[in-house]
Every structure is written in structure tokens, then in C-alpha cells.
Amino acid sequence: MTNASTPLQVAKFGGTSVADFTALSQCASIIVSDPTTRVVVVSAAAGVTNRLVELTQADLPNNERQRLLKEIAAIEYAIVDQLSGSEIRAAVDALLTQMANLVDRISHCTGDQLAPLADSLLSIGERCSSLLLTQVLKQLGVDAVNFDVTRVMRTDGHHGKATPDCASLTLNALEQLLPLTENQVVVTQGFIGADDEGNVTTLGRGGSDFSAALLAEALGASALAIWTDVNGIYSCDPRVVVDAKPIAELSFSEAAEMATFGSKILHPATILPAQRSQTPVFVGCTRAPEQGGTWIRNHCESRPKFRALSLRRGQTLLTAHSLNMLHSQGFLAELFAILARHRISVDLITTSEVSVALTLDQTGSDSSGRSLITEALLEELAPLCRVEVERDLSLLAVIGNHIAHTSGIGIRVLDAIGDSNIRMFCQGASAHNLCFLVASSEVEAITNRLHARLLN
């Protein structure tokens, strides 16, 4: 733990915040303005990880591969061109050569070799960003150091969505990272880690928020700041509801529900380490820090009945039918064991006498972007049950307080849904949410109606 008299803040900058030289300069001025910011976690520049994900496909046509490599190089060199010194150019050259070599190896590889190579390739975006931001800071006279997070972020070996080992991370971070913060600003990478053998792993898409929260917990930080492209957390994604309102203060529980139910602004796992370590989290806009943002804390003054709407696209509904379910024991245990073996985390569940319906979250799946429902999974399920799969669904969650114990909420929600078809409706497990599944084509209209009725 850090000494209370020397507070240390962790700041995380997302993809748009490190997209170009101007954006990196804005990050630098935020870092400089608060001397307690000693650890900085960066994402890949906007658009880089998406391209790297495409490049992980072994069967990509060569011309596509070349186009993507050039586009990534153009993003990184546009920043290098604004920096002085030949060393930074040489360092970026080396990373981009490594990227091209990995892509070449992926194009010749099959089976189990692919996942570790893919994670090494995906790490290039974050590695470039941390190099570049370190250089921007150095040019402003800040004593900054680029730190390879794989030295401390120990994970299991599950490529694409590795699970961090918090105890090892804490030991490593206190030993190897914390001492550097006394005299330097440490710039490091989000999203990536390494297994026991030193193979690079990734934490799943959008994982840099999670990395930053884990580092803040490990270092006993006094606060975690998530700098992004909006000035805080809104009552709904402002891209979906134009008159969504910024929220000044949120409790950990509300924020955790929002993140879990798809408010892309925070990776779903971000709040857990913050809540465990009671680290307050600030969310603000890199381009306009003066506008303030949202504070997420253990206790907050207001506890409104309706706080926000979260929406998660890319949901799949899997319905398993089996007459064996009737009056039998162990059917669900068997079904869940198979899903667990395929590393599928089940979200919502409803059951009837002979069937069980589950939602699977494609957006929360691994870094590879591959479909969750594979032939291997369906083959393993076939002897147990008949499976029906529906795609293109979206999950809409109403987040608030005392939802499970307030009468009249259901009718207001159903009224806003109107005559659209609801594929699943879940309420009861949490006091903070009520959620339902609808066709993705209808979700924006329903969200706007619901927002107007509950949150305006």
C-alpha cells in the first residue's frame, strides 16, 4: 500500500484520447496538471485494435493484410512525425516490424498456435501508444518512463480473455512499478498481460479500463481517473439518446450494473477492483477536462429510483429444449458445465418445464471477435438437448435503486415497450436493475421512449 501522505493516482486514457498527436498532448497536459498522477495506462490509438483483430485471421487475403498493416503504420507514424529525436522513430519501427512478422507467422499457422500469436499481435497497439505518450511527456520536460506491463500483469493462459492473478499483480507491482513512481511518471499499457511462461495475453475487448482498475488496486491508489471522449457517465449512451444527462455521482453498485449491462464507457469488470479497494473512480473527457465528469464512490448523496439505461447489442439467445428436464435433477448443472468448458459466461436465464433460455454476450467475449457459439459447442450439447439459437438481439437494462421493491415499475416499462416483441424479461436478482431482450432493430426506439418516460 502507498503511504497516505503521498497519494498516487492512476489515469487511463482510451483509444480516442491517444488517437493522434493533439490528443496525446491533451493527455500530457492532464497528467502534468495533477502531480499525484504517477501511473498512466493507455489503450491503442482509435481504430488500431479493430485492424489488429482483422489481422489475426489466418486466411485473410494478402492485399487486405497489406492494406491493414499500412493503415496502422500511417496512424502511428503520423504521431512520430510530430516528435523529435530518431530514437522514438527507431522504437516504433521495431514494433511495426514485429507486427508484420507476427502477421506473417499467423498467415502460416493453424490450430493452437494461433491464439498466442494473436495476443502478441494485439498487444502492438497498446505498446505503440505507451511509447508515444512517454515521448510526448519527455518533450514537455516530464521525467516519464515507458513500463512493460507484462512484467507485472500476471494472468492465466486463456488467450483472448485471460483472467488476471491479483495476488501476483500486487506483489509484482509493489516491487517493480511502485518504486519508479517516486521520481517518474510511469506510462504503461492497458489490455495486455502475460502468463507464467511470459506469453502475452489479452483481457478481452475494452480491457484497458479493467487493467487500470487492477493496477490502482494493486498500488493502493487514492483514485482512478478514466479519461475518454465524453465528460462522464450519462443517463444513457449519448450516441443513442441525444438528450441523455450527465451524472455527477454514482455508487459503485450502480456503476457496476451499468458497466455489466453494456454501458461501453466502462469495461464490465472495471468496478470490481475499485469497489474491493474502495478506490474512487472519476470519468471525464480528455478534450474538455474543465467540464468535470462523474465520480463513482461507495456512498453517494442521491439514490434515485431510476438512474440510467444501459444497452448491449450483439446478444444471442440460446434455448435448450429437453424432455429429460422434466422432474429431473442435474440437467442445468450439465448444461452449465458444457458452457463453462467452452468459456461461455451465461448472462440471463429463464426456465420453463422442458426448456431453459440463456443469453450469451458476444460483445463481452474474447479479443478475437470470433462467434461464441461454435460447432464444437453445438456438438457437445446435441446429446443433451435440442438447441435453438436466435441472434441480433439487444439487452436493455433499467438501472436504479430499490427497483425490486418498488411497485408500478413493470407497468411503466411495459408501457414504453409498447407492442414490440419482448424475447426475455428479467427482474428480481438485483435491487438495481430490470432488463429485457428485444430485436436489435427496435432497441434504439424503445430506449428513447423509455428514457423520455423514466429519466427526463
Task: Provide the 3-class DSSP secondary structure of residue 150.
Answer: helix
* CA 245 to each of CA 282, 293, 312: distance values in angstroms, whole numbers, following the listed order: 17, 11, 19
Name the DSSP letter for residue 246.
Answer: B
CB nearer to ligand ASP: pick between 123 and 251: 123
Q: Which stretch binds ligand ASP (CB under 6 A): 43-51, 83-91, 172-180, 223-231?
A: 43-51
- Tell me if 314 contacts ligand ASP by CB under 6 A: no
Cell numbers 500483469 correspond to: 153
CB of 439 within 8 A of CB of 392? yes
Q: How far is the CB of 192 from ligand ADP (least distance, A)?
A: 15
Q: Which stretch binds ligand ASP (CB under 6 A): 79-87, 111-119, 151-159, 206-214?
A: 206-214
Closest CA to 185 of 152, 219, 145: 145
Q: Is 234 one of the annotated binding-site residues?
A: yes
Q: Is 314 one of the annotated binding-site residues?
A: no
Taking the C-alpha atoms of residue 115 and residue 139, their distance in angstroms, rounded to an integer, is 37
Residue 138 binds which of Mg ion, ligand ASP, ligand ADP, none (CB < 5-8 A, kind-dependent): none
- Tell me if 49 contacts ligand ASP by CB under 6 A: yes
Alpha-helical segments (H) within 34-85: 48-55, 62-80
Closest CA to 138 of 178, 186, 173: 186
CB of 106 within 8 A of CB of 98? no
Residue 234 binds which of Mg ion, ligand ASP, ligand ADP, none (CB < 5-8 A, kind-dependent): ligand ADP
Residue 257 binds which of Mg ion, ligand ASP, ligand ADP, none (CB < 5-8 A, kind-dependent): none
Q: Which stretch binds ligand ADP (CB under 6 A): 15-23, 30-38, 61-69, 157-165?
A: 15-23
**Residue-wise burial string across 74-83, b where 16 or more C-beta atoms lie within 10 A, e elsewhere:** ebbeebbebb
Cell numbers 491464439 correspond to: 115
Taking the C-alpha atoms of residue 345 and residue 361, their distance in angstroms, rounded to an integer, is 8
Question: Which of 147, 191, 210, 234 is the binder for ligand ADP (CB under 6 A)?
Answer: 234
- Tell me if 14 contacts ligand ADP by CB under 6 A: yes
Question: Which of 31, 118, 233, 318 is the binder for ligand ADP (CB under 6 A)?
Answer: 233
Taking the C-alpha atoms of residue 188 and residue 18, their distance in angstroms, rounded to an integer, is 13
Residues numbered 331 to 360 that lie near ligand ADP (CB under 6 A) are none
Q: Which three cell numbers stand for residue 292?
A: 468535470
Measured CA angle at 453 (ends 449, 455), to 5 deg: 105
Q: Is 15 one of the annotated binding-site residues?
A: yes
Q: How far is the CB of 336 from ligand ASP (least distance, A)?
A: 28
- Tell me if 264 contacts ligand ASP by CB under 6 A: no
Residue 44 binds which of ligand ASP, ligand ADP, Mg ion, none (CB < 5-8 A, kind-dependent): ligand ASP
Q: Which stretch binds ligand ASP (CB under 6 A): 42-50, 84-92, 148-156, 398-406?
A: 42-50
- Tell me if 264 contacts ligand ADP by CB under 6 A: yes
Q: Which stretch binds ligand ADP (CB under 6 A): 74-82, 227-235, 342-350, 424-432?
A: 227-235
CB of 423 within 8 A of CB of 336? no
Listing DSSP states for 97-139 in one string gives HHHHHHHHHHHT--GGGHHHHHHHHHHHHHHHHHHHHHHHHHH
Q: Is 49 one of the annotated binding-site residues?
A: yes
As a dihedral over the C-alpha atoms of residue 10, residue 16, residue 20, residue 23, rounded to 10 degrees, the angle is -60
Q: Which stretch binds ligand ASP (CB under 6 A): 203-211, 253-261, 377-385, 431-439?
A: 203-211
* Residues within the interface to ligand ADP (CB under 6 A): 14-17, 43, 206, 228-230, 233-234, 236-239, 263-265, 308
Binding residues: 12-15, 49, 126, 228-229, 234, 239
* Residues within the interface to ligand ASP (CB under 6 A): 14-15, 43-44, 49, 125, 190-191, 205-208
